[in-house]
Structure 1
Amino acid sequence: MRFLLYNIRYGAGIGSQFHFPVPYAGYLKRSIENYRQITEFITRLAPDIVALVEVDSGSFRTGNCCQAESLARSLGYHHIVESKYRSGSLPRRVPVLAQQGNALLSKEKIIDHQFHFFRTGIKQLVIEATTANLTVFLVHLSLTYYNRQSQLQQLYEIVTTTQGPVIVAGDFNVFWGDQELALFLAATHLRSANDQGSPSHPSRSPKRQLDFILYSPELTVKDFFIPDVILSDHTPLVCDFSE
């Protein structure tokens, strides 16, 4: 089973054009061409499960098309997508922000799913999706240390109620280093697929390990690698698990 985690930055791209004519102007530009390249990359990789962080679910940037739905249709996969922001929150009432979310796509049928929301932070979404043999959690944690630690405690409470094999993946934003996850890993008995601690951000010259694929002891990693791809500010993470 091949698992892909990718923070795609809404397909907005990187480089000088992203910051023209003002810093971060790329967030307000059309993302269709760059997302086409992301779709081609994912198609070549042929993952069984795709975990996408920072997905546009249908703003003007994408011509009002949901990126997750478009990719799922292209691959012939099942998918779920949801806003990163809790219903009723300010970002959910702001155009463009309201369409910013995360998504899971699966070759196998998704038989159940839930959307949990952290009590702290602005980005609060936890996607939980269950297939016949696996439960996947997808997160995008807070930029602030205090909120991240609170979110990790809440994530522990969610994950430890789950039976069977588990993968917890996402952009954890651990700017203080992977030691931020030490207590969470010890308490959940999860392991990191990236056992060498290879960095994934920024994509042009990775220096920080922000993205993680964590898995329960019932699973066995056959291979892990980080493709040299610069279609987003994050590099993708790929893990092959034994069947």
Structure 2
Amino acid sequence: MTVLSHRTPEGAFTALDPVIERDPPRVLRVMSYNIQSGLETSRYHHYFTRGWRHFWPSPSREGNLDRMSHMLHDYDLVGLQEVDAGSFRTGYVNQVEYLARRGTFPYWYYQTNRNLGRIAQHSNGLLTRFRPASIDEHALPGRVPGRGALHMRFGGPGEALNVIIVHLALSRRARMTQLGYLTDLINDHRHVIVMGDFNCHSRSPEFARMVSCTELLEPVHDLHTFPSWKPHRNIDHILLSESLDVSHVRVLDYPLSDHLPITMDVALPDGVQLIG
């Protein structure tokens, strides 16, 4: 039986309840999802007419998070972007913990990248059914601070699985710098999953440069995730090392945010163990 302590301000990851580790699957069901702090947006003009919801509590958030949690329930590993870690606008609800409880994920973690105090806590988040061996937070470079990468390692000291969750900048120049930083991080490990909101399409120059400088597989093109009500941009991605096998890549038609979730089934090599 494995028990983890509750999260501390220093960043300890959390188990909701005592957990008996089950035998991990050889195929992981993985999702990356920008949840827009739990807000549902279905038209461009909602960014203006409903913009107040980004700063003020909205009763629709909880119901929308409940719908998201039902969808997340079938997955083993979920990377979240634009999640709030508990502030005035969410009624001081940590949305990562809320989704973990509702989706029955025993382990969760959040990385706050833009701390606006009581107003907003802009964060990346992790939901997982297996205890990470370690978690590291990285502040990504850029002229405007507030972008980060969350790096988890699963397994023992041998063939570990490394998972990196990112949310990159809006400007191409900043993304180029951030992807250069991520390239160094990726190249330190053999088995890597990188996922998140890259804010650039899979055929962009910055994306091509990162793939050419790593052992990542070519991304799956034309999986459009944004905007959720009429998707025509593929800016959310899940990338794998050449050592991992991919199947059943898809975008889910669940317009609960301004992004659609992207999912992938990842087959692990025999030497990779999720539990150390």
- What range describes the TM-score normalised by the shorter chain of this pair? 0.7 to 0.9
Q: Distance in 1 between matches of 2:98 and 2:45?
A: 23
| Alignment-derived partner of residue 41 in structure 1 | 71
Mark the runs of 5 or more structure 2 residues left unpaired by the alignment.
1-27, 269-276
**1:81-120 maps to which residues of 2 (within 5 A)?**
81-85=110-114, 92-97=115-120, 99-120=121-142
What amino acid maps onto 1:235 in structure 2? L
Quote how far apart the aligned CAs of 1:138 are.
Answer: 0.7
Secondary structure of the structure 1 residue equivalent to 2:173: helix
SS at match of 2:65: helix
SS in 2 for 1:84: strand
- Segments ≥4 residues shifted beyond 4 Å: none
C-alpha change, 1:20 and 1:53, in structure 2 (3 Å) is: closer
Match of 2:209 in 1: 183
Cα 1:17–1:173 change in 2 (3 A) is closer
Aligned-pair distance for 1:25?
2.3
CA–CA distance in 2 between the matches of 1:155 and 1:137?
A: 9
1:72 equivalent to 2:100? Answer yes
Distance between the aligned counterparts of 2:203 and 2:47, measured in 1?
31
Q: TM-score, normalised by structure 2?
A: 0.78
CA distance in 1 between counterparts of 2:246 and 2:117 reads 41
Q: Please tell me whether Structure 1 or Structure 2 has the larger radius of gyration of its CA atoms.
A: 2
SS in 2 for 1:188: coil
State the alpha-carbon separation in 1 of the partners of residues 113 and 182 from structure 2: 15
Could you list the per-position Cα deviations for residues 151-184 of structure 1 after superposition, in whole angstroms to 9, with x for gaps in the alignment?
111111222122x310011101116953430010
Q: What letter matches 2:65 in structure 1? A: Y
For 1:107 and 1:19, the matched residues in 2 are separated by: 35
Q: What SS does the aligned partner of 1:123 have?
A: coil
* In structure 1, C-alpha distance between the alignment counterparts of 2:64 and 2:214, rounded to whole Å: 37
CA RMSD in angstroms, aligned pairs only: 2.1
Q: Which of the numbers 205, 219, 235 marks the counterpart of 2:230?
A: 205
Q: Is the 8 A contact 2:225 2:259 kept in 1?
A: yes
CA distance in 2, matches of 1:57, 1:33: 17
Report the 3-state secondary structure (helix = DSSP H, G, I; strand = E; otherwise coil) of the residue aligned with 1:222.
Answer: strand
How big is the shift at 1:80? 1.1
Shift of 1:2: 0.3
Equivalent residue number for residue 166 of structure 2 = 139
2:196 aligns with one of 170, 178, 194: 170
1:70 aligned counterpart, secondary structure: helix
Query: Could you tell me how far 1:94 is from its partner in structure 2?
Result: 4.4
Q: Which amino acid aligns with 1:197?
A: D
Evaluate the alpha carbon distance shift between residue 102 and residue 14 of structure 1 in structure 2; reply closer, same or farther with a 3 A threshold. Answer: same
Aligned to 1:158: 185
Residue identity over aligned pairs, in percent, reads 29
2:226 partner amino acid: H
Give 1:127 shift: 0.3
- Pick which of 224-233 and 118-127 moved more: 118-127
How many angstroms does 1:47 deviate by?
0.6
Q: Secondary structure at the match of 2:176?
A: helix
Between the aligned partners of 1:233 and 1:20, the Cα distance in structure 2 is 10
Which sits farther off after the overlay, 144-153 or 114-123? 114-123
